[in-house]
Structure 1
Amino acid sequence: MTKKVLVFGMTENPGGVESVIMNYYRNIDIKRVHFDFLCNSYEPIAYEDELTSNGSKCFHFVARSKNPIKYHKELKTFFKKHADEYSAIWVNVCSLANIDYLKLAKKYGISKRIIHSHNSENMDSKLRGKLHEYNKKRLWKYATDFWACSEEAAKWFYDEKLLKKVVIIKNAIDINRVSFDEKKRQHYREKINAKDRFVIGNVGRLHFQKNQSFLIDIFNDYLKEDPTAICILIGDGEDKHKLINKVKQYGIEDRVLFLGVQNDIQGWLSAMDLFLFPSVFEGFGLAALEAQGNGVPVLASKDVMPYELKINDNFHFFGLGYSANSWAQKISEIKKNVDRIASDQIKHNFTNSGYEIKVEAQKLEDFFIN
C-alpha cells in the first residue's frame, strides 16, 4: 500500500530548500511513497509542472501575512477534509515563526508530524525572530519527529530537551544533474563573452544572508589583479537593486552580470572557474555542495558553513573577518594552484561522505514506509 505524505516548504523560488525536497522527491519510489504539497501562495510553486505530471497534488492557500483570516479558514477546511488521507506531514522551514501546519495536522489526526530545520539563524524580521523563540518552547507538543540539515541548524531550531532526538537528514544531491559539461561550458561562456576570461560565480537568493554585497567588494578588489575577469550572480531577491547600485558606484557594470533565476544550474556551474560563497550564515549551503558536484573550486566563509560541507579537496574556507582585499588575494592563490576535480573522484568523494542522493533517498523512503 502506498504511503501518502503531505509536504510543506516549496515556494515560487527554486532555492535551497526547494532543491533539497526535489532531490529526494526525484529519487524516492513514488509508487511506494506519494507526496502532495501545501503551498502558501496562489502562484505556481517551483517545479509544479514536474510535480503534477508525476501525480502529485499542489494545494494553494493565501499567505498568512496577506490575509490572516482567510488563511486560517482555508487551512482549517483543508485539514478537516483531507488529513485522514495522509500518514505523515513533512514541514520544511527556515524558521519556527509559523507552526500552524503542525498544530492542525495534530488536531485532525496525522500521526507522523516531522519538522525539518534548514537554517541556522533568523533571516527575517525581529517579530518573526520572537515568534521563532516562542514556538521553539512549544514545538514538542505538536511535532513527533525532529530533523535538521546540520548540527548548526539543529542547535538553532531545537531546545536542549529535543536536541537528543534530532536526526540529521543530509542535503544529498544527484551529482549527475550538476556534473561538469564541456559543451555547456563553451556555450554559456560565449553567451556572456567570457571565452578566455576568469569567471567567478555565485548562486543564491539576493539577500543579506548570502552576502553578495561583500562579494562585489571582493570582486572589485580582484579586478586589480585580473582586469578581464567576470562575475556572474544567479538568483533573484530583495537586495537586487541595492546590489546593482553598488556595482554602478564601482563602475564595473560590464564586469558583473545579474542573470536572475536560471534553470540550467549545471551549465552555469560548468561555465565558472571559481564559486564564491561568502554567506554570513547557512544551515548547510546546498549551492556550494552542487558546485562541488560540478568540480569547480569553491571559496566559502569559514565558521559559517558546517565543516562537513567540504567534500572535495578544492573547497576552501576563509574567514569573514578578513578584508575584501584579502579574499581577492585568496582567489588569486586558488587560481594559480587549483584545478577542477575529475568526475570519478567527485563520485568517490560524495559516496564516501554520504551526500550521494540515491543512498540517502532510500533511507528516507524506508522511514516513510515503516
Structure 2
Amino acid sequence: MKRILVFGMNENPGGVESFIMNYFREFNREKLALDFLCNSNDKIAYEDELISKGARVFHLTARSKNPIRYYWEMYRFFKEYASDYQAIWVNINSLANIDYLKFARYFGIPVRIVHSHNSQNMDTKLREKLHNHNRDKIEKWATDFWACSHEAAKWFYNEETIGKVKIIPNAINMNASIFSSEARDKIRIDYTLDNKFVLGHVGRLHFQKNQEFMIRVLAKLQEFRDDVCLVLVGQGEDLNKLKILAEELSIQDKVYFVGVQSNISEWLSTFDLFFFPSNFEGLGIAALEAQVNGLPTLLSEEGVPKEVKINDNTFFYPLKESEESWANFLDEMIHTTTRLNYEYIQENFEKSGYDIKIAAQNLEKQLLELV
C-alpha cells in the first residue's frame, strides 16, 4: 500500500474539499492510503468521515495566528512522519504559501504534487506578489503540476511550466446530486418557499462568488417579478455586508441566508434556477452539481470556465452587462427553461468526463505510477 499526504482541506465544505472527498471515497484504500495535513487547529470539513475510513488527520497552528509555532509544528511533523509518505499532494488556490512543498522536499518526500484550484488571485496584493514570486520557482519545490481547468493552469503556472501540467477533472458522483421531489417539497414548506420561484446559489460568501451582484440583480428583477427570491447556501466574511445590502435595497425578505448545509443535493432540488455569476473560478464544482440535479443554470461568461457546461439549459452571460440586463436575461430563462430529466442528464454526464467512477480510476492509476 502506498501512502500520500494531502493538503487542502479546511473547515468550510467548499469546492476543494468536495473535490478531494469525491476522489477519496472512490480510491481503493488497500492500494492507496491518504492522510491529511491541515493548516488549522479547528475541525475540518468531513473530518469524522475521513477518520472513520482510516485516514489520519493532522492539525497545525495557522501561520496567520502564530507564525513561530506554525513553523515549529510543521518542522516537527515532517521530521517525524515524512518517511511514511511516498508523495505529498498540495491542493491550493495560489502559490503564496508553498511551505508544505519546501518541507516535503527537505525531509525527502520524493513525489511533490502541486494542484491549482483557482484562476485568479482572491487574496491581498501581498499574497499576489508572493504567488508571482513562487510561480517562477515552483519547479524547484514540486515534481508534478496539476490543475482543475485550463484557465486555472494558465493563471497558476508560468510559460516554462505550463507544458508539464496535467488537467485533473473536478469529477463528481452523479447519484449524490440527483433531483428529489420529496426533499424539494419538505424544504420549500419549512422555509415558506412553496409559492416562490427560487434562484439558488451554493458557495462561500466572498467577492469571488459575487453574491453582492446577485442581490443587486434580484432587486432589479423584483421590479417586474415579485415572486422571485434568492437562497444563498454557505458562509463567509461577506455575510453581514450582504445582509445590509439586502436591507438597503428593501429586499431583505427576498434573500434567504441559510448558512452551511450538508444536504446540498436537497437544496439543489429546492431551487428552480442556479445562479452562479462568479468573478472567477478554477472550474466550479457547484455548477456541475447543479446541472446533474437538472437545474437551469446561469454562469458568468468571464468568470467560469466553459468546460463546466454539460447541459443545454446552462447559459453564460457577460459580467460587463448591467444588472438590469442580467435581470431581463434571468426573466427570459424563467419563462423558457425547465429542469431536465434524469435520462438526458445521465447521457450528457457520461460524455463529459466528470463521472467520478471513471475519473477516480484514472487518477488512482496515475498516482500509483508516480509513487
Deviations along 1:161-204, one digit per CA (max 9) or x if unpaired, are 11000000010100110110010010111111111320001110
Aligned to 1:241: 240
Q: Name the SS of the counterpart of 1:82 in structure 2.
A: helix
Deviations along 1:35-63, one digit per CA (max 9) or x if unpaired, are 10001111100000000001101100001
Deviations along 1:214-262, one digit per CA (max 9) or x if unpaired, are 1001111111222122210010111111000000111111111100101
Deviation at 1:304, TM superposition (A): 1.8
Deviations along 1:59-107, one digit per CA (max 9) or x if unpaired, are 0000111111111111011111111111110000001011110111111
Work out the CA distance in 1 between the residues paired with 2:229 and 2:302: 27
Work out the CA distance in 1 between the residues paired with 2:190 and 2:249: 24
Q: How many residues align?
A: 369
Deviation at 1:268, TM superposition (A): 0.4
Aligned to 1:319: 318
Aligned Cα RMSD in Å? 0.8
Work out the CA distance in 2 between the residues paired with 1:163 and 1:63: 30
- 1:69-108 matches, within 5 Å, as 69-108=68-107
Counterpart amino acid of residue 23 in structure 1: N
- 1:37-186 matches, within 5 Å, as 37-186=36-185
Aligned to 2:252: 253
Q: Name the SS of the counterpart of 1:339 in structure 2.
A: coil
Deviations along 1:2-56, one digit per CA (max 9) or x if unpaired, are 1101000000010011010011111111111111000111110000000000110
- 1:255-274 matches, within 5 Å, as 255-274=254-273
Aligned to 2:329: 330
Deviations along 1:275-295, one digit per CA (max 9) or x if unpaired, are 111111111111111101111
Aligned to 1:10: 9
Counterpart amino acid of residue 162 in structure 1: T
Work out the CA distance in 1 between the residues paired with 2:303 and 2:122: 14
* Structure 1: stretches of 5+ with no match in the other structure: none
Counterpart amino acid of residue 288 in structure 2: L
* Structure 2: stretches of 5+ with no match in the other structure: none
Counterpart amino acid of residue 212 in structure 2: S
Work out the CA distance in 2 between the residues paired with 1:27 and 1:294: 21
Deviation at 1:303, TM superposition (A): 2.5
Aligned to 1:294: 293
8 A Cα contact 2:26 2:360, kept in partner: yes
Work out the CA distance in 2 between the residues paired with 1:303 and 1:69: 40
Counterpart amino acid of residue 312 in structure 1: N
Q: Name the SS of the counterpart of 1:186 in structure 2.
A: helix
Q: Name the SS of the counterpart of 2:196 in structure 1.
A: coil
Work out the CA distance in 1 between the residues paired with 2:280 and 2:202: 15
- 1:184-203 matches, within 5 Å, as 184-203=183-202
Work out the CA distance in 2 between the residues paired with 1:122 and 1:31: 38
8 A Cα contact 1:3 1:368, kept in partner: no
8 A Cα contact 1:92 1:118, kept in partner: yes
Deviation at 1:347, TM superposition (A): 1.4
Aligned to 2:351: 352
8 A Cα contact 1:93 1:116, kept in partner: yes
Work out the CA distance in 1 between the residues paired with 2:40 and 2:302: 35
Q: Name the SS of the counterpart of 1:369 in structure 2.
A: helix
Q: Name the SS of the counterpart of 2:30 in structure 1.
A: coil
Answering whether residue 24 of structure 2 is matched by residue 25 of structure 1, we say yes
8 A Cα contact 2:279 2:302, kept in partner: no
8 A Cα contact 1:233 1:258, kept in partner: yes
> TM (normalized to structure 1)?
0.99
Work out the CA distance in 1 between the residues paired with 2:141 and 2:253: 52
Work out the CA distance in 1 between the residues paired with 2:344 and 2:141: 43
Deviation at 1:309, TM superposition (A): 0.8
Q: Name the SS of the counterpart of 1:26 in structure 2.
A: helix
Work out the CA distance in 2 between the residues paired with 1:303 and 1:214: 14
Provide the identity percentage. 52
After superposing on structure 2, the runs of 4+ consecutive aligned residues of structure 1 that deviate more than 2 Å are none
Counterpart amino acid of residue 296 in structure 2: P
- 1:201-216 matches, within 5 Å, as 201-216=200-215
Aligned to 1:275: 274
Q: Name the SS of the counterpart of 1:114 in structure 2.
A: strand
